[in-house]
Amino acid sequence: MPATSSNKPYRVGRSKTGLGLFATKPIKKGTRIIRYFGPILDSRIPAHDEIENKYLFELNGRWTIDGSVRKNLARYINHSCRPNAESDVRPRERKVFIRAIRNIEPGDEINYDYGTDYFKAYLKPIGCKCDSCEKKRKKLRAEARAERAKVKARDERKAKKAGTTSPKTKAAKKKKLNGHAFAKANGRARV
C-alpha cells in the first residue's frame, strides 16, 4: 500500500468495494483535498488514444489525464451518487482537484460523483455499491416486504369475511372435514 504523508488529511484504507480514500482529519466544506494527476493524454495522438483504463479522467474532447499512476492517490477515491466531494475540473490548466462539498469527519470515506458516462459504462452493469444506492435498495426491499405483508393480510381479511379461506386455512379446514366430525355429521363411517 502506498505511503501516505501524515500531514495530509487522508489515508488509503479498506472500503466495501476494495480500497478507498478516508479522511484522517476534519475537512471543511470547500477545501481542496487532493489533486487527481497523471500523464496528460492527447486524443489526437493515436498511441494516446489507444490507452484504456478505468482511471482516465477526461478534461475535454482532446485532453485526458491518465490517473492510473501509483502516486496518484486520488485514484483510490470511490464513486458515490451522494458524495461528500466533487471534482473541480480545470481544462485550461489541465488539472483536476477533488474538493469537499460537505464537512468531512475523520474516518469518513471521501467520494465524488464519477459522472454519467462512467456510471453507465462501469457501475450500472454491476449495480452501484455506494452507500446511497445500498440504502435505496434496502428501502425498496423493505417496502416490497411491507407491501407483500399488507396484501397477504388483506387477502386473509377478505377471505374471512367471504367465508372462504386463504390456501393455508383452507387446507386446515379440509383436514377437519375429512376427520371424525365430518363423517359423523353425514352419518357415514370413515374408511
Q: Which residues bind Zn ion (CB under 5 A)?
A: 81, 128, 130, 133
CB–CB of 170/163 below 8 Å? no
Question: Minimum distance between the CB of residue 132 and Zn ion, rounded to whole angstroms?
Answer: 5
Closest to 111 (Cα-Cα) out of 34, 25, 45: 34
Question: What's the closest the beta carbon of residue 59 comes to Zn ion, in angstroms?
Answer: 24
In the complex, least distance from residue 81 CB atom to Zn ion, rounded to whole angstroms: 3
First to last CA, the chain: 78
Contacts of the segment 51-54: beta carbons below 8 A, 24+ positions apart: 54/118, 54/122
Q: Rounded CA gap, 10 and 64, in Å?
A: 25
The least distance separating Zn ion from the CB of residue 138, rounded to whole angstroms, comes to 13
β 78-79/63-66 pair status: unpaired
Residue 126's identity, in one-letter code, is I
Task: Find the shortest distance in angstroms from Cβ 117 to Zn ion.
Answer: 15
Q: Give me 90's grid cell.
A: 480545470
| Closer residue to Zn ion, CB minimum distance, 12 or 81 | 81
